Structure 1
Amino acid sequence: MSLKIEIHSFSYKKGGIPKDNSGNGGGFAFDCRGILNPGRVEEYKTQTGCDIGVQDYLETKTEMPKFLELVKSITSINIENYLDRGFENLQINFGCTGGQHRSVYAAEKTAEFIREKYPQATVFLQHDEQPQLNSSLINDR
């Protein structure tokens, strides 16, 4: 059986940290609220972390690139260990105030990184507050 990595974006205000239904009691929960919020910029208010303008803002005007490099380093330690030991589940959660901009971006970029670096793992990406961004396919992005 392969390692299933479930990645969520969520809102601390609306639902809180997603429950881990695997029976393992959770995994990582990263707080993106320390990153400048593009949702406070008028032109980005209705957009999400999947929109180019929001992505450019996060990549050039915030500490998000540094934050994600650290996330990749720390999660890789567990992913490699879990793969070596035959573990089946890992959950990685990204939260921000509304679950729309920062957490969505971080979840998307982390899923992309894991799919490229660990093709033997299966990645499920779930945007808890932005269901329109979810897809029925597993590794489609």
Structure 2
Amino acid sequence: MRFVVVTGMSGGGKSTALHMLEDVGFYCVDNLPVPLIEQFVELIAMPGSEVEKVALGLDVRVDQPFEDAQKALEKLKKNGYNFEILFMEAGDSVLLKRYKETRRMHPLSPGGRVEDGIHKERKILQDIKGKADYVIDTSNLLTRELKEEIDRIFVKNEEYNSLMVTILSFGFKHGIPADADLVFDVRFLPNPYYIEELKYKTGNDKEVQDYVMDFPEAGIFIDKLTDMLEFLIPNYVKEGKYQLVIGIGCTGGKHRSVTLANKLYERLKNKGNYGLKIAHRDVRAQGI
């Protein structure tokens, strides 16, 4: 029997992850009272049980201390029940935005400030996060991308590291992305905006890509950047980093940055056991 405990920050995507696990054949139970956890696991693990895959959702609630749930899990492990822990994570600013959009109160600060509840919850969950087998940061994930991660871990059973790498093109005139960990400026390359037939195209179009990559400096840049990232990424994984955003910027975020972000994505795709996605923040923005 495969037994997965799904927990994490409120608003981090735990319920969504449970629904996705249910879709791939897991028997899912959410917020089971702590005194019933051991009985539940013993029941489904009995000889003759037809349940082969189980997911148990656990979160921080006012009516039962989370440390009681952790003690219940420790007892299960001592009694020979093996389980994996999936921790759903998101940045504080993202969680706050999600709470504001849904107009929900945080379970640890009913009637109070959501920020206070987030900080309390993060402290409470610190220990179980450190023990998690998988940490998925949903801060920059689309629903379909989360599904791909769930499938990669629990359906395809691929080797997993918790790092999600996002390659993000942007325009400096619209501001540097606040969540960028690494930022690279490609404004040293000639701007296709000033070529009439390329002006209204983007780095997603072959004509613009051919123009940008025709300059030797573009090829040298992508070679050196790929080499550096192939060194850095495994070390970020080793240090337990969950999210890496690589920003590639030009003036308007439509031509050069988009082209080189696409080329970098192709270079890094299928190179390692980390998640990889690409986004073009300003490709539809007005101006150069």
What is the distance in 2 between the residues matched to 1:30 and 1:130?
17
In the alignment, is residue 29 of structure 1 matched against residue 183 of structure 2? Answer: yes
What is the distance in 2 between the residues matched to 1:115 and 1:99?
22
Aligned to 1:59: 213
Aligned to 1:139: none
Aligned residue type for 2:193 = G
Aligned to 1:123: 276
Q: Which has the larger radius of gyration?
A: 2
Give the share of equivalent positions with the same residue, in percent. 38
Aligned to 2:169: 9
What is the distance in 2 between the residues matched to 1:74 and 1:27?
14
- Is contact 1:115-1:121 (8 Å) kept? no
Map of 1:70-109 to 2, 5 A cutoff?
Answer: 70-109=224-263
Moved more, 28-37 or 73-82: 73-82
Structure 1 residue 39 displacement after superposition: 1.5
1:75-127 deviation per Cα after TM superposition (whole angstroms, max 9, x unaligned): 22210212233321111000000100010011111122221312x11112111
Aligned to 2:192: 38
What is the distance in 2 between the residues matched to 1:73 and 1:116?
15
Higher RCO (CA < 8 A, seq sep 6+): 1
Structure 1 residue 28 displacement after superposition: 0.9
What is the distance in 2 between the residues matched to 1:76 and 1:17?
24
Structure 1 residue 60 displacement after superposition: 1.4
What is the distance in 2 between the residues matched to 1:77 and 1:106?
19
1:43-64 deviation per Cα after TM superposition (whole angstroms, max 9, x unaligned): 1001111111111111213521
- Structure 1 stretches lacking a partner, 5+ long: 21-25, 133-141
TM-score, normalised on structure 2? Answer: 0.41
Aligned residue type for 1:35 = L
Aligned residue type for 1:129 = D
TM-score, normalised on structure 1? Answer: 0.81
